[in-house]
């Protein structure tokens, strides 16, 4: 059994690549949206924590409560399940408390963008490098107090590495889902390619069988799509072709049966001088060798000059190849031209009576040859276009041996009868002429002899 063909692999790879591209785009979109969602959720979480810290601090965000605020920042950060950094900053940028460093050693934060945005708009969100911790962090700052007289800023931050770890977990989950989808995609693409390619493969095998002459091959069609319609059309073509071949075979058998049963010989020679058709009667009448099997087929495509030795027959069969019309065997045994031109002058009927030596002895044949037109099937001489008719030669051979013998007997009988009648008749006429000149009264005895002569020859003629 043959494996999957090229169409299967084309469909499989095409479906696989298309599905893989769609899956990769989906994975990329999911990853991007997941990362965006994670960032947004983180910002909301940090803003929530900043809001809580702002409520906890209240009016105590000032230099007098710096120690308390620093302790509060470190205490809350240590109890947080996530590594966060909490910072309390005055409007002039002075750090009062920080969960990760000593506020006294920290520089002014007045130039931090998130602090500037919080003092101006109430909230600030920024990602930048922390000079204190030497790492990138996301900062969310909330203003404490009114915009006209702010008390300071509460800032909550988380390192981007921690955020990246969370995003990496989500990304791994997405890619695991993509791998599972890819495995299912391979199975789906293979099944889809098999479903699409199997009917085409079956149609190809059926068409190949039909081209080899196997008309028993059929396609099992199901469904109502274009492929099913193509299969049904192929089955209809097979049925139509089988009916045509059956008709052609029946006509061929009828023709062969008629030609086989004909007592007259039939020979058809193409324009190239090769036998197109010959029946068994022609083989027998021409005395051709009987070692060619089957005889009616073995002589086909053989040239006339290869097996017909009689010059007059060859001339009659090949006369349609002679442009000048000479040497076509149109004269009979008596040297007279027996050619006939049918009405309209389409072609000339050549007729000749010849003698042929066969294994059964010498026989007499009446040969009649006529130009006919046959469809050119493309195997004739170069220059004859396929589909156009070509001139061929049809010759019919009739065994007239018995008829010739009967005519010879008739001729011999007429000659013998003429001879047998002419001799006594001459004697009778001579005797009558003599009697008419004699004197019967004086020469009665002599006249009696002539009368007896007439009587004797008349009895001979009667006999």
Residue written as tokens 């080899």?
212
DSSP secondary structure letters along 91-130: TTS-EEEESSS-GGGPPP-TT-HHHHHHHHHSEEEEEEEE
List, in order, residues 6 or more apart from 3 with CB less than 8 Å away.
Answer: none
Q: Where are the alpha helices (DSSP H) in 335-392?
A: none
* Bridge partners for 363 per DSSP: 356
Q: Which two tokens stand for residue 405?
A: 């013998």
pLDDT of residue 90: 92
pLDDT digits (tens, 9 = 90+) for 294-339: 555 667 778 888 878 888 888 888 876 654 344 444 444 443 345 5
pLDDT above 80 for 11: no
pLDDT digits (tens, 9 = 90+) for 230-288: 888 888 888 888 888 889 889 988 888 888 888 888 989 888 888 888 888 888 888 87
Q: Which two tokens stand for residue 214?
A: 């196997």
pLDDT digits (tens, 9 = 90+) for 22-41: 878 887 887 777 777 777 88
Backbone angles phi, psi at 265, to 5 degrees: -85, 140
Q: With bands split at pLDDT 50, 70 and 90, how would you rate the model's confidence at 348?
A: low
pLDDT of residue 280: 86
pLDDT of residue 320: 61
Ranked by mean pLDDT, which of 165-179, 262-276, 368-382 comes out on top?
262-276
Report which of residues 154 and 433 the model is more confident about. Answer: 154
ω before 89 within 30° of 0 (cis)? no
pLDDT of residue 292: 53
List, in order, residues 6 or more apart from 98 with CB less than 8 Å away.
Answer: 70, 73, 85, 86, 87, 88, 106, 132
pLDDT above 70 for 451: yes
Q: With bands split at pLDDT 50, 70 and 90, how would you rate the model's confidence at 94?
A: very high
pLDDT of residue 140: 92
- Rounded distance between C-alpha atoms, residue 347 and residue 344, angstroms: 8
List, in order, residues 6 or more apart from 247 with CB less than 8 Å away.
Answer: none
| 302, 288 contact by CB (below 8 A) | no
- Tell me, what DSSP letter sits at residue 320? G
ω before 294 within 30° of 0 (cis)? yes
- Rounded distance between C-alpha atoms, residue 463 and residue 459, angstroms: 6
- Rounded distance between C-alpha atoms, residue 231 and residue 243, angstroms: 18
Ranked by mean pLDDT, which of 74-83, 105-114, 195-204 comes out on top?
105-114
Q: Is residue 327 helix, strand or coil? A: coil
């Amino acid at each position: 059994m043959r494996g999957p063909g090229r169409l299967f692999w084309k469909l499989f790879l095409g479906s696989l690549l298309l599905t893989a591209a769609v899956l990769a785009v989906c994975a990329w979109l999911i990853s991007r949206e997941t990362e965006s969602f994670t960032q947004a959720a983180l910002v909301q979480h940090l803003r929530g924590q900043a809001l809580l810290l702002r409520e906890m601090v209240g009016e105590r965000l000032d230099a007098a409560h710096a120690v308390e605020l620093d302790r509060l920042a470190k205490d809350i950060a240590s109890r947080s399940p996530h590594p966060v950094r909490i910072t309390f900053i005055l409007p002039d940028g002075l750090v009062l408390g920080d969960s990760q460093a000593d506020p006294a050693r920290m520089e002014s934060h007045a130039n931090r963008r998130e602090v500037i945005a919080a003092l101006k708009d109430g909230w600030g969100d920024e990602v930048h490098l922390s000079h204190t911790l030497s790492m990138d962090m996301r900062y969310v700052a909330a203003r404490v107090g009114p915009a006209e007289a702010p008390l300071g800023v509460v800032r909550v931050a988380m390192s981007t590495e921690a955020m990246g770890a969370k995003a990496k977990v989500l990304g791994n989950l997405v890619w695991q889902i993509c791998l599972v989808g890819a495995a299912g995609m391979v199975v789906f693409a293979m099944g889809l390619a098999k479903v699409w390619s199997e009917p085409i493969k079956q149609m190809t095998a059926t068409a190949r069988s039909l081209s080899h002459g196997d008309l028993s091959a059929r396609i099992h069609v199901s469904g109502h799509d274009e492929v099913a319609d193509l299969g049904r059309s192929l089955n209809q073509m097979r049925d139509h072709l089988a009916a045509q071949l059956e008709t052609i075979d029946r006509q061929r058998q009828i023709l062969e049966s008629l030609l086989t049963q004909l007592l007259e010989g039939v020979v058809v020679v193409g324009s190239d001088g090769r036998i197109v058709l010959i029946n068994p009667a022609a083989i027998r009448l021409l005395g051709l060798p009987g070692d060619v099997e089957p005889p009616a087929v073995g002589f086909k495509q053989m040239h006339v000059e290869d097996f017909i030795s009689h010059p007059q027959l060859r001339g009659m069969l090949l006369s349609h190849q002679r442009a000048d019309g000479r040497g076509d065997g149109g004269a009979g045994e008596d040297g007279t031209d027996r050619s006939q031109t049918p009405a309209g002058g389409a072609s000339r009927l050549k007729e000749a009576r010849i003698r042929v030596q066969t294994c059964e002895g010498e026989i007499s044949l009446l040969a009649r040859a006529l130009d006919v037109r046959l469809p050119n099937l493309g195997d004739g001489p170069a220059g004859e276009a396929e589909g156009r008719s070509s001139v061929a030669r049809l010759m019919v051979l009739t065994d007239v041996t018995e008829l010739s013998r009967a005519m010879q007997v008739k001729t011999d009988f007429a000659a013998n009868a003429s001879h047998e009648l002419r001799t006594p008749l001459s004697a009778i006429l001579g005797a009558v002429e003599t009697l008419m000149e004699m004197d019967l009264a004086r020469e009665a005895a002599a006249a009696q002899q002539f009368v007896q002569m007439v009587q004797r020859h008349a009895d001979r003629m009667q006999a």
